Amino acid sequence: MMNPVQRSQTLFFETYNMRPSKVSFAPGRVEILGNHTDYNEGYVMPFALDRGTSVAGRQRDDRICRLVSSDFDGLVEFSVDDIVSDPARSWSDYPKGVLWAFRSEGVHLTGWDGAIASDVPVAAGLSSSAALEVATALVLEGLWGLDWERMRLARLCQKAENEFVGVKCGILDQFSSLFGQPDCGLFLDCRSLDYSVLPMGNTGVSLVICDTLEKHNLIASKYNERREECEAAAASLARFDPSVRFLRDVSLSLLREHGQDVPEPARRRAMHVVTENERVLAGRKALEEGSLEKLGRLMCESHESSRRCFENSTVRLDFLVEQARSLPGCLGSKLCGGGFGGCTVHLVDMDKKEEVARRLEDAYKAWCGLAPRLHCCGIGGGARVE
């Protein structure tokens, strides 16, 4: 079976009857800790996956852009002078958004042909959108002869999703895709953008990702509503501490002292974010000490907080997490990404990954009659140009 890079090149040739001049690959990610902390200027701990999205591209002599994807039917064609959203082909809004973001940075746009292939499940909480944005940005950077620092590219891709697509996400996903390293976790301070690489070493662990088949759409979901609730909580607490601008600035003691003055549900959203930031810091220490058992416990605590306080879990996600916790070899489990559907991620002993995956599949089928999509993944490297 061909990998995404091979598939994007093949699709490009089949569609345009020529070979691409640039090919990129950008991985998806799982957030191990740091659920909804990024846009609160907090801390995150993601792992890049060994699965991702590839974009093959070639510059044109005119102003026309053409895009094709192996996951969706039809060819999308538009002018660089008329970049608009297309609800009927919403997948194309992500590469369009990157073009739009480059233009907003003063880059002179030219037409191009692109072909996209991916093995990251769509709408599953594994950052398929960020992988597509980053892969597109790298191809365009190469086609146009740019050489931008990677954090600048991460910000550009985040801007595309925030302002063109309309999802008010933080920088977690784009950062993870660009900065991932094989067999390493990442730690990011979303305020300063300082980061560190956390080598996993020969830990003998794997990631089992279970897709509930409950698709989440962050535009249609309550993602943006949750962000507004977090901002409201920070504004309420700023009355008692003027230094508070985001929930990153709120201590647990401040929240406990003045939480009764924060209206619900904003108070519960704040409780999740404040304690989640503490879990990320504890998780970084756990990895530095080589304690995967502690990291697994923190993942379970994170999910429980997401379920009770942030309310971005679902019955299906909760079922899989609860089932996994009882399985030998499973160190930790939680929902992935924005929540409201999608996937769970399970940190498991490598020699138990197949058994954990099989038992989760059997339990889920017996419970709801559906066969979930199971993915046994490794921790991969960051985005690259082939």
Which sequence positions are flagged as catalytic?
173
Geometric angle at alpha carbon 71, from 219 and 185, rounded to 5°: 65
Query: DSSP code of 121?
Result: P
**DSSP secondary structure, 58-109, as one string:** EE-SSSEEEEEETTEEEEEEEETT-----GGGGGGHHHHHHHHHHHHTT---
- Say if residue 348 is exposed, middle or buried (CB neighbours under 10 Å; 0-12, 13-18, 19+): buried
Cis preceding linkage at 265, omega within 30? yes
CA distance 95 to 89: 12
- Say if residue 18 is exposed, middle or buried (CB neighbours under 10 Å; 0-12, 13-18, 19+): exposed
Q: Is 304 in contact with 317 (CB distance < 8 Å)?
A: no
Instruction: Give Cα 165 to chain centroid, integer Å.
Output: 15
Instruction: Select from 129, 136, 118 the least CA-distant residue to 215.
Output: 129
Burial 49-87 (b: 16+ CB within 10 A, else e): bbbbbbbbbbbbeeeebbbbbeeeeeebebebeebeeee
**CA end-to-end span of the chain:** 19
CA distance 56 to 63: 18
